[in-house]
Amino acid sequence: MHVYEQGLKTASSPEQLQPTPVPTWLPPGKQAAICFSVDDVHPGKRTDVYEAGGDLARGQLGHIGWLLARHPNLRVTLFTTADWRATSPVPTRRLLARIPYLRDQLPLTKVLDAGTMRLSRHPEFVSYLKQLTRVEIGLHGLTHVGHGRSIPVEFQQQDAAECRRILQEVLTIFNEAGLEYVRGMTPPGWHLSESLAQAMIEVGLQFVASARDVQTRVTRTATTKMSGLQGVSLIYPELICGGQLLHLTSNFQATCAIDRAVAIIEQGGLLAIKAHIVKNACGHIALDGLDELYRNYLDLLFTRLERDYGDALWWTSMGEISDRCMNGRERARVEHEVCGA
């Protein structure tokens, strides 16, 4: 039995991605914020390779519904893959994995046929997502499959034009399925290249969640050192790419003590809780995989935060934070230009 997605790392932030603070991201009267997001959502059922939402309330999404029913202020972002093709997060073609060059050109595990999990081919799944209250849908790649040994990292060496083509196909699939989405993405495997960031901006996306750090000690100046983009704020939203994208760091999961959540809130930060919809992917165990134990732990956490902070806590979503930060900046810019004129 293996554990995956513990610490997929990228280099420190390239120059283009260097962050700048967002000083007024919290609404008036709010001390801190909390959001909850779940990755790898797709129409897979128990009768497929593994269940990732396709069994609706009878499966993994039932945990989401249970939490929403118990906590009326809770908001959830489901990062959903347009045409999921992955079957294993680690290489299963072991011979191919030992052959230089070829191992970087081909998938090192079996993949599903294109279109198998295409959202538009699963209307019952899409209808279920659409009727969920206080739930928004974010983007999580086209296939969630990359070449080489980092199988979950879909965007690797592609240039901006190829990244843009892939993202446009993602948007086409969401639109043909009739599934509304917020203008943001968690890149598969957390990896955000300069090419992908440029393509995201070009297709109209506004936010990205491309860092996960559940280990670095919480302080106001702490920056990410774990999975994905490094050197961005651990607990505050930040602008990257010259202010054209908002970055949000995932900083809490099932393995964290409640004291970490309290520390983030006491510093006036964003408690960004992460889960993966699949707990057991063919024997590969996600430490933050959503199951009954994790669900119950979140229930305990939310109950305590509701009791201790009440209305001082902004229960929000990544899409809502992005709307406030990015659209608010645009409104301020326009008002400034009008007043200046």
For residue range 98-133, what is the model confidence (pLDDT) as tens digits?
Answer: 666 666 666 767 889 999 999 999 999 999 999 999
Q: CATH classification of 6-340, choosing from 2.60.40.3140, 3.30.413.10, 3.20.20.370, 3.40.50.10260?
A: 3.20.20.370
Question: Using CA atoms, how far apart are residues 72 and 10, in angstroms rounded to an integer?
Answer: 37
Helical ranges in the chain per DSSP H: 61-70, 94-97, 123-131, 160-177, 194-202, 258-266, 292-309, 318-322, 328-340
> Are residues 57 and 288 in contact, defined by beta-carbon separation less than 8 angstroms?
no
pLDDT band at 11 (very low <50, low <70, confident <90, very high): very low
Question: Which pLDDT does position 341 carry in this prediction?
Answer: 42
User: What pLDDT score does 334 carry?
Assistant: 36
| CA angle (128, 36, 297) in 5-degree steps | 100
Nearest-angstrom CA–CA distance, 39 and 184: 13
Question: Domain map of the chain by residue range?
Answer: 6-340
User: Using 50, 70 and 90 to split pLDDT, how confident is the model at 135?
Assistant: very high
Q: What average pLDDT does the segment 161-166 reach?
A: 98
pTM here is 0.91
Residue 210: predicted pLDDT: 96
Specify whether the CB–CB gap between 227 and 244 falls below 8 A.
no
Q: Among 24-38, 90-104, 226-240, where is mean pLDDT lowest? A: 90-104
CA 97 to chain centre: 28
Nearest to 196 by CA among 137, 235, 240: 240
Instruction: Give me the mean pLDDT over the 27-55 stretch.
Output: 97
Distance CA 14, CA 110 (A): 33
Sign of the Cα pseudo-torsion (48, 277, 280, 225, in order): positive
- The pairing of beta strand 76-80 with beta strand 135-139: parallel
Interhelix angle 194-202/160-177, nearest 10 degrees: 50
Average pLDDT over every residue of 173-187:
98
Residue 83 CA: distances (Å) to CA of 42, 44, 207, 243: 8, 11, 21, 30
Residue 93, pLDDT score = 65
